[in-house]
Structure 1
Amino acid sequence: MSQRSYRTAIVGTGAIATAHARAVRAATDRADLVAAVDIDVDRARAFAETWGVPRSFASLSELLLEEKVDVVHICTPPQQHAGLAIECLAAGVTAVVEKPPTLSLAELDELVAAESRSTAHMATIFQHRFGSGAVRLRRMAAEGELGRPLLATCDTQWYRDEAYFAVPWRGKWENEGGGPTMGHGIHQFDLLLSVLGPWEEVTAVAARRARPTETEDVSMALVTFESGVVASVVNSVVSPRETSVLRFDYENATVELEHLYGYTDKNWTVTPAPGHDGLVDRWAADTVSVPSGHDAQLAAVYDALDAGEAPPVTLAETRRTMEFVAALYASAFTGERVRCGQIGADSPFAKRMDGTGTPWGKVTAQ
């Protein structure tokens, strides 16, 4: 398989664009960052100067008209993701899209349709899947070394103060599609889903406890999987001691990950069940050590494109995670259990993550 060098552009030059620029640069001769795009032209120019990018544009349309590009990284606020990705796909350009990829399942299905008409692909940034610890865990689980999965916990307990939500597009359903479930915890429970496989049913609550937002600032869910394993998921932006924790209890060992915004192999621990002490050595015997992050996922994207394949994380994989988000909100706001596949195209929770409306929104309306 021969390696290509991909002409790349970044659309949206806010804070997260720096991680993307670093990842493109880390790819050395596999990618060339040729353009930066932002509706704030001065910011685009400043970003281009910082990263040695030769051209800057005020819109994606201008970029696609004037430059030949292979891959576009979409790093704008969430409400713009779907439209920009569709524009890329229509032009035959692969889109690498930050989370959340869309504001709703309906938007995601529009992307699925757009990709089916295109020669290009869309990949969602879920970089925690690509650290070596996660890869090792999935491999050992698939090979049966850990035994059956029995129980898992997934906690994203972060802290965002009121100043954070003073940014006009934050904390609003129309702009972000949700609160910490959609914008913060999604990385952790996407990793959970990638390890445990298809989920089956969700029972959840969501609340607005402290922040002046339209969206929730806390959510909790109980999840059952097709394999029978059960899990809990917590998402918060009101937790002063910040942490991101995943725990997987298998028959033969407990595997744990504790970090904040990104992990290395040092953040993982393995506790064997009696009689399975060798699992610790087998875990440590894997000398590959790759941190989670955009670098690892982008390398996987290029590998897939070199092979003529859809890059990870594909829209099919993305949909499983986004359907889980919709189910969590649907359960929280209706008080019902929600099964995988239950949210059809005509459901209000397919069209908007707040679906029929939030309890606090209804109180405000009175």
Structure 2
Amino acid sequence: MTTPARYRSAIIGTGAIAHAHAEALTKLSDRVELVAVADVDADRARGFADQYGVEKTYADAAELIASEKLDLVHVCTPPGSHVPLATIAMRAGVAVLTEKPTALSLAELDTLAEVERETGVPVLTVFQHRFGRAARRLAELANDGSLGRPLVATCETLWYRADSYFDLPWRGKWAVEGGGPTMGHGIHQFDVLLAILGPWQSVSAMAARQTRPTDTEDVSVAVARFESGALATIVNSIVSPRETSRLRFDFEYATVEVEHLYGYTDADWTFTPAEGHAELAEKWNLTDDTEMSSHTQQLTAIFDAFDAGTDPEVSLADATRTLEFAAATYASAFRGRPIAAGEITVDDPFRKSMDGGMVPWAPLKETNR
């Protein structure tokens, strides 16, 4: 039997998050080879390449894409560069896996969607928490009706980032990071919320800059109504000393909840059937998988899709729904009223940027940064 050829990947940007990609690729080395990396910092690129046994490094991402035969390129750069780099790769026929957020705005997503239509090349987004075994099981039970109708949910990303976190010049700036914890931190949790509950209908939100030296919010709170009738609260914070990530789903026949920080295993989930529905515990029956939700699991699903010739996840359409929720959170918070799904159309300022040009607090002066 012929051994299948391995896929060829490259990483653009060798900062902190790139290590999660490289470690996942190392674990999947029977299916994929990391052949090159690129970074504007040549020394950092070389050190990263040496750490993971990569032969080739580039100072220019476009040169890497033009020079290497690739199946997948991982974009691990600051958010403001995601769309330009993804566009270069897609036009070269290379599928893209970009870190969240996919883009700085819905308008940028429109640009990516046009390139995807033109080239037929997918751009995927890292939302690895969709791919843990428990989240997959929850999606199955929710979709097949076993749990009954979803009624209420809570989604909390309560993290802590010290003032020094914002020393990097691209952090905390609307123009280059896109937003605060709503865009850069809580988006992972509410992406899972949306994946389970389906299309959202409206959002009412508040946002504030409580203490951090940033132009963006450091806290946002939202209430969402879903097409199913379910209601959910969503909290995104980077001012919470006891850090946690929590999701809770109350269906007609069961409560399903998870508490973790940056990744979960089966043991982090609790399943509580309603009275008269004890048999659902057998359908849940997750007790022994110690693998954490991670880039490895998402990449496994991507390569499985490549093998089968099917559409890999997380698609641009799915990422757009999640980013639209973030935009609606900001629009509601700054306009002081609910925002309906689909309301942020082509001429809306909140389609062009997440701040909509109307942040209620004044930008910080550089002397205060």
| TM-score (norm: length of structure 1) | 0.96
Q: Secondary structure at the match of 1:327?
A: helix
Shift of 1:66: 1.9
TM alignment of 1:71-220, pairs within 5 A: 71-220=72-221
State the distance in 2 between where 1:289 and 1:112 align: 37
Matched residue, 1:233: 234
State the distance in 1 between where 2:170 and 2:7 align: 32
Shift of 1:310: 2.8
State the distance in 1 between where 2:364 and 2:120 align: 48
Dislocated runs of 4+, deviation >3 Å: 285-290
Matched residue, 2:350: 349
State the distance in 1 between where 2:62 and 2:314 align: 25
TM alignment of 1:302-341, pairs within 5 A: 302-341=303-342
State the distance in 1 between where 2:41 and 2:364 align: 38
What does the per-residue CA deviation read over 1:95-138, in whole Å, with 9 as the maximum and x for residues that have no partner? 10000110000001100111111142111000000000000001
Shift of 1:307: 2.3
State the distance in 1 between where 2:106 and 2:5 align: 33
Shift of 1:291: 2.7
Question: Contact between 1:333 and 1:356, CA under 8 Å: does it hold in 2?
Answer: no
Question: Contact between 1:4 and 1:306, CA under 8 Å: does it hold in 2?
Answer: no
TM alignment of 1:218-257, pairs within 5 A: 218-257=219-258
Shift of 1:273: 1.2
Shift of 1:268: 0.3
Shift of 1:362: 7.7
Question: Contact between 2:137 and 2:284, CA under 8 Å: does it hold in 1?
Answer: yes
Q: 1:258 and 2:273 equivalent?
A: no
Matched residue, 2:56: 55
Q: Secondary structure at the match of 2:30?
A: helix
Matched residue, 1:19: 20
Shift of 1:286: 7.8
What does the per-residue CA deviation read over 1:309-354, in whole Å, with 9 as the maximum and x for residues that have no partner? 3320000111100111111100000011100100001110000000
Residues 4, 149 of structure 1: CA spacing in aligned structure 2 closer, same or farther, 3 A cutoff?
farther
Structure 1 runs not aligned, ≥5 long = none
What does the per-residue CA deviation read over 1:13-38, in whole Å, with 9 as the maximum and x for residues that have no partner? 00000000011111122111000100
State the distance in 2 between where 1:99 and 1:198 align: 20
Question: Contact between 1:148 and 1:250, CA under 8 Å: does it hold in 2?
Answer: yes
Shift of 1:280: 2.0
Question: Contact between 1:220 and 1:233, CA under 8 Å: does it hold in 2?
Answer: yes
State the distance in 2 between where 1:247 and 1:4 align: 42
Shift of 1:271: 1.3
Shift of 1:288: 6.2
What does the per-residue CA deviation read over 1:158-189, in whole Å, with 9 as the maximum and x for residues that have no partner? 00010111111110001110000000000000
Shift of 1:145: 1.5
Shift of 1:146: 1.1
Q: Judge which range, 282-291 or 71-80, deviates more.
A: 282-291
Shift of 1:191: 0.2
Matched residue, 1:64: 65
State the distance in 2 between where 1:40 and 1:166 align: 18
Matched residue, 1:291: 292
Residues 287, 139 of structure 1: CA spacing in aligned structure 2 closer, same or farther, 3 A cutoff?
farther
Structure 2 runs not aligned, ≥5 long = none
Shift of 1:363: 10
Matched residue, 2:39: 38
Question: Contact between 1:154 and 1:192, CA under 8 Å: does it hold in 2?
Answer: yes
State the distance in 2 between where 1:303 and 1:285 align: 23
1:31 is aligned with what amino acid?
Answer: V
Question: Contact between 2:174 and 2:216, CA under 8 Å: does it hold in 1?
Answer: yes
State the distance in 2 between where 1:344 and 1:3 align: 45
Shift of 1:290: 4.6
Question: Contact between 2:266 and 2:287, CA under 8 Å: does it hold in 1?
Answer: no
State the distance in 2 between where 1:236 and 1:288 align: 30
| TM-score (norm: length of structure 2) | 0.95
What does the per-residue CA deviation read over 1:3-58, in whole Å, with 9 as the maximum and x for residues that have no partner? 54211100000000000001111112211100010000111011000000010000
Q: Secondary structure at the match of 1:263?
A: coil
Q: Secondary structure at the match of 2:100?
A: coil
2:16 is aligned with what amino acid?
Answer: A
Question: Contact between 1:60 and 1:84, CA under 8 Å: does it hold in 2?
Answer: yes
Question: Contact between 1:150 and 1:249, CA under 8 Å: does it hold in 2?
Answer: yes
